[in-house]
Amino acid sequence: MNAQERLARFLETDPRDVGCDEAMAVLHVYVELVTQEPAAATERFPGVAVHLAACGPCGEDLAGLLAAVSDDD
């Protein structure tokens, strides 16, 4: 990805996106809500939902935690 592509991606960022640090701080709570009531997770943490949809590495962390939780059941 070149500098122009990085700038374009940055400018397309949803202003509701809370960023990696905030998303990771509440990810465990978000995962619990997703497994119990997915709509409630998005409603309670809209900025986290936006971030997880846009950020590949954080989305992978979400997928991993969801897989771990489903393996426990």
Q: Report the mean per-residue pLDDT for the chain.
A: 90
Best mean pLDDT range from 13-17, 22-26, 66-70 = 22-26
What pLDDT, on the 0 to 100 scale, is given for residue 73?
53
How many beta carbons lie within 10 A of that of residue 12, not counting itself?
A: 8
pTM for the full predicted model: 0.79
Q: What is the mean pLDDT of residues 45-59?
A: 94
Between CA 30 and CA 72, with CA 18 as vertex, the angle to 5 degrees is: 20
What pLDDT, on the 0 to 100 scale, is given for residue 66?
95
Closest residue by Cα to residue 45 from 54, 36, 57, 34:
34
What does the DSSP 8-state code read for residue 73?
Answer: -
